[in-house]
Structure formats: C-alpha cells, structure tokens
Amino acid sequence: MSEDFDVLVVGSGIAGLWFALKMADQGYRVGILTKKNQAESNTNYAQGGVACVTSNTDDFESHVHDTLEAGDGLCDETVVRRIVREGPERIKELIDLGLKFSTTETGEFDLGREGGHSERRILHVKDMTGKAIETALLRAIARSRGITVLEHFFAIDLVTNRKVPGGMSDSDEERIVGLYGLDVRANRVCSFTAPVVMLATGGIGQVYRFTTNPDIATGDGVAMAYRVGIPIQNMEFIQFHPTTLYTLGNDRFLISEAVRGEGAILRNLKGRAFMADYHPQADLAPRDVVARAIDAEMKKSGAHHVWLDITHHSEDYLRNRFPNIFRNCQKILGINIADDRIPVVPAAHYSCGGIATNLNAETPMSGLFACGEVACTGLHGANRLASNSLLEALVLAHNGAVSAGQYLAEHAESRLDIPEWLDLGGHDPDEQVVISHNWDELRLAMWDYVGIVRTTKRLERARTRIQNLAREIQDYYWNFSVDARLLELRNLIQVADLVVQCALQRQESRGLHETIDYAEKEAEPVNSSVVRPPVREEARGWGSH
Ligand SMILES: Cc1cc2nc3c(=O)[nH]c(=O)nc-3n(C[C@H](O)[C@H](O)[C@H](O)COP(=O)(O)OP(=O)(O)OC[C@H]3O[C@@H](n4cnc5c(N)ncnc54)[C@H](O)[C@@H]3O)c2cc1C
C-alpha cells in the first residue's frame, strides 16, 4: 500500500496535532501517523500546566530570566525571548479552540507556581492540563477537513531522494520525500509520500527503567532523524523528575511539582525537612537540584524513597486542586494525602536534547521539520524550566506551520515514488524472548550507569553493553519481519547510544549532567552534538539487502 499527502505528521501529541491543524487551515492534505490510539502521548499525562506570562504582576523579563537560570548557561537567549513572547498569543488560540484553564472565583486564571519560577505563571486545568489540551485538539482535528488520522501506524524510517533510485542528481540537494510506516494491526509496511514531514514523536523516557513517560516514549523520531544524518544535540541532559510515587513496579505515577508549589515539604525517613540543606529555594529549588538532593538522601540512608508531605492542606482543598493525584495515591497505595505523607522517588521524565532545529522547527534537511519534545531548539539549555515544554511545543508547531507552508508553495510538485518495502517474511522463534530480554537489559543499564550522577567508567560500561545489544538487534531487523516491539527496541538502543555519546563528550558538570570525574563547570558552555556519517542502507525499501 502507498499513500500520498502534502504533509505527513508523525505523532498526535500537542506538537503534532497543533501543527496538523495549522497546515490543514492552509488547505493542505495532512496525514497523521500515530503508533497507538490517537490520545496516547506524553501530552495526555501532563499535569502541572503551561508556563506563560498572563498576569499583570508578571513580565516577560522574569520568565526569560528564570528559563536562562534553569538552563545553566546553555540556553539560546534569542530563542528563549521569542518563545516566551509568543506564548500568550498561542494560549489565546488554545482558549479560542475551547480549552478552559482553571480560574479563581473572581474569574482570573488560577496561576500555579512551580520550581525555578519566581512568579505564579502556570496555566492549568486542575492537575489534568495535558488531557484537557489533548482532548481539545483532537476535537478540533475531528472537525477539520483535510486531516486523516492513521492510528496504530508506526513510522519506521524517513526516505530522502538520495534513497530513491534516480531520485537525486549530483546537483540536487537531499530532501525528504516520505517515509515507511508499519500498519501495526495488519502487520504490513506501507509507503507514504509527501514533500513535508513533521516529526512530533515526543520523548525518550522508556530508555530508562523508571520513567514517568508512557510506553510510546521510545525516542523514535530522534533515531529516525539520526539515521538520515541530522545532528542530534544535548542528549546528556535528561531531566529526572524528583517526585514520582514510589511503588514496587516499574511504572512511576508523577506527583506534580505544583504540589510543592502549594507548600508540600520533602522529608527524609526520619521526618526531617532536608531541602534547605541543598538550595536557598529549599523545596522550590529547580528540578535537577531536588532530584539530586533526593538521590543523595537515599544513598546516605539506604532508603528506597523519601516523603512528600502536603498534610497541612485540608482533604477538600486537595481533592479539588489535585483530583488526579489524590485519586491515584488512594488507588495505588491506599493513602489519603491529607493525612499521610507520600512516598516519592525520582524517575526519568524529559529529554532536553533532540533533533537540532531552529525557531521555525526546520532541521538541516529540506522538507524535514521537528517540534515538541523530540526537538532541541535552545530553549531548555542544560535543564528545562518546569512547564516550559508545552509552551515550546505550541510556539514551535505554529512557527513550523508558517515555514512548512512557504516550503510547500515552492516544492509542491517535487514528489517521488518510494520503492516498495522489502519484506523478508518470517520470525525467528527466539525473537520475542530476546527482544523482551534486551529491552530490560538496556533500560536497566541506562538506569544504573547513565542516571542522575554519572562517572566516565560507568558511561563507558553502558556504551559497551549498548553496542552489543545494537549488533544483536540489527541482525533481527535485517533478517526477519519487523514488528513494533522490535522497531522500538532498535530506536531505544540508538537513542541510548546518543545519550551516552553526548554524556561522554561533556567533560564538566552542568545542568542535568553531573559527573563525579568532572565536577567543575567549563568557562565556555558548548552544545554537545552527534552527527551520523552519511549512510545509504538504513531502511529496507530499496533492495539494498
Ligand atoms: C507525566 C508527565 C507530566 C508532564 N507535565 C508537564 C507539565 O505540566 N507541563 C509541561 O510543559 N510539560 C509537562 N510534561 C512534558 C510534556 O508533557 C511533553 O514534553 C509534551 O507533551 C510533549 O509533546 P509532544 O507533542 O512533543 O509529544 P507527545 O505528547 O509525547 O506525543 C508524541 C506522539 O508521537 C507518537 N509516536 C511516537 N513515535 C511514533 C512512531 N514511530 N510512529 C508513529 N507515532 C509515533 C506517539 O504515539 C504520540 O502520539 C509532562 C510529561 C509527563 C510524562
């Protein structure tokens, strides 16, 4: 099967949906590929809200300052200023679409406060902001003409004109012409052609054993872009959320930073509030500081968790302000957070690095765009300020749509047919057990060796493990039929290697990257970057195997 669109969007979180709506508004035929149900995304789980200057007591300078402070010298100030300034316009558009942010009794926005912010500026819909945004966007998509949503379609690899026989002469520049996608339910690979592809595939949390991210967060977009030679930046900056609910399983339910914004105190198992020992802002210190402090307290005492204490608020207040958290703590652990302290631990949460793009979501490859968590724009630098990611996705998807519209006006006719996917057929009988074993091995190695505090020796140990896994999985990829689990593992391995490569490059401790071997900060901050040398045989569609 082969399908043709003007624009292909990979991903149906805030970035992909917002971009798709804006492309459809310009009259283009848009196809959205999404690998599970359309609502399944990191966006859907976002709790705290969107950071944006809307109050009279707040100002752009203050938001810029807080973002730069968190980013620890690596933010691109021009990018920060533009995103902060363009935020209010995008928020207004979201409201026009039907989103209702929580308000006070007097009708003003009920602005939340989170770690690292010097003002209350977080717009939220109670503690289910992401779900409200995802629902509003999906409703608008359903109303929009010209958008086809392909659920359970897994984007495998991008295709450029270089990879189409006769598609690129010596004088042509390399450009995107489409991609291969696995129809997961029918178990067959289809080709999709379009002059514009937007990668909006979200984060990479699943590369770690413990993560707040849902199953979809396997870094597919980063891996796909890397395979066509796009530079990947700053992957060492993985944000570990300090407070996720401690349970014995792998899933980590997030306890939003907004809980500390409303006065919750972190205590060690003896009940002592410890954050003032680590930072002048105590419990409202930036995330990396809080995550490292918890890690240090746990290592010191051998405890498996610390406590988060919000018992100074009434049950009525907590049920109303944090209905989702209240319910889940009760459901998962049987505790009432108005009476009981919450056991919490850090978990992998957000990737500040990703596909290098400019402010228009453009990558160095013609026709290829990226936005949302998959991209690295320069906003977050070495550490993301809480609630800046939804803001970034809104602004970049909008700018990307303007730029992609201009690109299409010039390249609408430049379409190429993509060769059929080479289906080799057959499964190795050992395949499933090997794949699930390798998933676990990879995620554990990343957790143990590439976690909150690093050393060069541990990073190198992780690299060796990753390279072994890569060899094994490449063998499966090239010799048997593909399925989603195998494709995800292939991407996770690629992304894990990128995280480690970037971490080894950075011989200093900065922002989210702390290494015992280089405890100091370099005087001149630089971005880390990994670029793949040109390759011609990364997908199976052009008979190269
Ligand atoms: C628990 C939690 C709470 C958070 N709270 C906040 C918050 O309060 N404020 C804030 O600013 N940020 C928050 N974040 C971060 C924020 O939610 C994400 O960074 C943001 O939603 C990412 O949006 P996105 O559109 O880039 O990706 P996502 O929303 O993750 O969407 C990615 C989409 O791509 C699809 N996809 C991935 N790979 C493929 C493939 N190969 N083929 C087809 N489809 C694919 C997925 O299925 C999904 O539809 C939170 C994150 C989590 C996990």
Model's pTM, two decimal places? 0.94
Residue 179 beta carbon below 6 angstroms from any ligand 1 atom: no
pLDDT at 168: 87
> Pseudo-torsion of CA 344, 350, 352, 357, nearest 10°?
-170
CA dist list (Å): 222 to 39, 116, 239: 21, 28, 17
Residue 125 beta carbon below 6 angstroms from any ligand 1 atom: no
Largest Cα–Cα separation, the chain: 71
Distance 149 CA to ligand 1 centre (A): 17
pLDDT at 300: 87
Tokens of 141: 């998509």
Question: What per-residue string of b and e applies to 128-145 under the rule 16 or more CB within 10 Å gives b?
Answer: bbbbbbbbbbbebbeeee
Residue 154 beta carbon below 6 angstroms from any ligand 1 atom: yes
Locate the DSSP E strands across 221-281: 232-233, 238-245, 265-267
Residue 202 beta carbon below 6 angstroms from any ligand 1 atom: yes
pLDDT at 1: 78
Nearest by Cα to 196 from 370, 356, 395: 370
What lies within 8 Å, CB to CB, of 24 at 6+ separation is 30, 144, 145, 146, 147
Distance 289 CA to ligand 1 centre (A): 24
Nearest by Cα to 147 from 278, 23, 320, 323: 23
Question: For ligand 1, atom 26, which residue shows the shortest CA distance?
Answer: 372
Distance 309 CA to ligand 1 centre (A): 28
pLDDT at 427: 72
Verify whether residue 287 is a known catalytic residue: yes
Question: For ligand 1, atom 3, which residue shows the shortest CA distance?
Answer: 46
Percent helix, percent strand, percent coil in the chain, to nearest 5:
40, 20, 45
Residue 387 beta carbon below 6 angstroms from any ligand 1 atom: yes
Total number of residues shown for the chain = 545
Q: Which residues pair with 34 in a beta bridge?
A: 151
Burial of 440 (C-beta count, 10 Å sphere; 0-12/13-18/19+): exposed
Tokens of 341: 């302290």
**Does residue 295 sit in helix, strand or coil?**
helix
Under 8 Å between Cβ of 113 and 119: yes
pLDDT at 537: 55
Under 8 Å between Cβ of 137 and 19: no
Query: Out of 175, 209, 252, 287, which one is annotated catalytic?
Result: 287
Distance 396 CA to ligand 1 centre (A): 14
pLDDT at 535: 62
pLDDT at 544: 37
pLDDT at 423: 77
Distance 468 CA to ligand 1 centre (A): 29
Q: Which atom belonging to ligand 1 lies closest to the Cα atom of 211?
A: 53
Helix (H) or strand (E) holding 500, with range, is helix 484-505
Residue 13 beta carbon below 6 angstroms from any ligand 1 atom: yes
How many whole angstroms separate alpha carbon 216 and alpha carbon 15? Answer: 15
Residue 389 beta carbon below 6 angstroms from any ligand 1 atom: yes
Residue 175 beta carbon below 6 angstroms from any ligand 1 atom: no
pLDDT at 112: 93
Best of 38, 40, 43 to mutate for ligand 1, by most ligand atoms within 8 A of CB? 43
Best of 179, 190, 201 to mutate for ligand 1, by most ligand atoms within 8 A of CB? 201
Q: Can you give the pLDDT of all 545 residues of the chain as single tens digits?
A: 789 999 999 999 999 999 999 999 999 999 999 999 999 999 999 988 999 999 999 999 999 999 999 999 999 999 999 999 999 999 999 999 999 999 999 999 999 988 889 999 999 999 999 999 999 999 999 999 999 999 999 999 999 999 888 888 888 899 999 999 999 999 999 999 999 999 999 999 999 998 999 999 999 999 999 999 999 999 999 999 999 999 877 668 999 888 999 999 999 999 999 999 999 999 998 888 999 999 999 988 989 899 999 999 999 999 999 999 999 999 999 999 999 999 999 999 999 999 999 999 999 999 999 999 999 999 999 999 999 999 999 999 999 999 999 999 998 777 888 988 887 767 766 778 889 999 999 999 999 899 999 999 999 999 999 999 999 998 888 888 899 999 999 999 999 999 999 999 999 999 999 999 999 999 999 999 998 876 655 556 543 33
